[in-house]
């Protein structure tokens, strides 16, 4: 998804969810400042990594069978389950969920896409610098030469946008449930439903590359 396509969707999301672009941009600046000394890698390195087929693991009780030899991308809180079986090649996270498993994956060589948005500046302050492996910084607002924007709103659909951007032609989704979401303590069920509706729309746009398991 190019930046012009994403901007159109992003403006719709801001309007629908009542979010503020200024907050997203402020959080992105914070992440960029904190991670100046991180192991930031270039897009070319990711193009060299991504395979024709990738498997993206979501948090809804994913099937972990047959993953040996697969290129695995873990979406945020799914990393806890993934790490019980293998180290994912990539973790896509806004630093929510079980953060310790995500930090462990980074320490074992997983590439982490760390995302900044208006609601996670406190988590950025607390956890971002704990990721010692290779990282790419992302935003849903305006990118620059350090912080990128590949599209995507939640960890799951952002992982799909990243896979597509870097050339994956077949994307297998495991543990994705858009209709019966799981809720974290303190989360608003209606907000979660609306987020998942956006995730489903983003993933299924051009869904000929998607296989749902």
What pLDDT is attached to residue 76? 94
The answer to pTM > 0.85 is: yes
> Could you tell me how many residues make up the chain?
213
d(CA 192, CA 84): 26
Residue scoring higher pLDDT (61 or 168): 168
What pLDDT is attached to residue 182? 64
What pLDDT is attached to residue 189? 78
- Tell which residue, 212, 203, 114, has the closest CA to residue 156: 203
Confidence of residue 187 (pLDDT cuts 50, 70, 90): low
Task: Provide the b/e sequence for 161-174 (b: ≥16 CB within 10 Å).
Answer: bbbbbbebeebbbb
Q: Where are the domains of the chain?
A: 3-178
Q: What is the pLDDT of residues 14-57, one digit of tens each?
A: 999 999 999 999 999 999 999 999 999 999 999 999 999 999 99
Terminal C-alpha separation, the chain = 24
Asked whether residue 186 carries a pLDDT value surpassing 70, the answer given is no
What pLDDT is attached to residue 179? 83
């Amino acid at each position: 998804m190019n930046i012009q396509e994403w901007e159109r969707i992003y403006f719709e999301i801001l309007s629908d969810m009542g979010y503020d672009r200024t907050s997203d941009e402020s959080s992105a600046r914070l992440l960029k400042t904190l991670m100046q000394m991180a192991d930031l890698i270039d897009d070319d390195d990711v193009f060299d990594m991504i395979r024709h087929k990738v498997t993206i693991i979501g948090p809804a009780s994913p099937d972990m069978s047959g993953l040996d030899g697969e290129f695995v991308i873990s979406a945020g809180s799914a990393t806890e389950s993934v790490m019980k079986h293998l180290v994912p090649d990539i973790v896509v996270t806004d630093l929510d969920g079980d953060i310790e498993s995500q930090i462990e994956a980074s320490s074992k060589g997983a590439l982490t896409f760390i995302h900044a948005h208006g609601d996670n500046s406190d988590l950025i302050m607390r956890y971002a610098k704990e990721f010692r492996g290779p990282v790419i910084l992302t935003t849903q607002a305006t990118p620059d030469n350090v912080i990128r924007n590949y599209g995507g709103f939640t960890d799951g659909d952002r992982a799909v946008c990243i896979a597509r951007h870097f050339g994956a032609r077949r994307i297998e989704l495991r543990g994705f449930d858009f209709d019966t979401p799981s809720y974290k303590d303190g989360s608003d069920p209606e907000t979660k439903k609306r987020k998942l509706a956006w995730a489903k729309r983003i993933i299924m746009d051009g869904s000929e590359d998607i296989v749902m398991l």
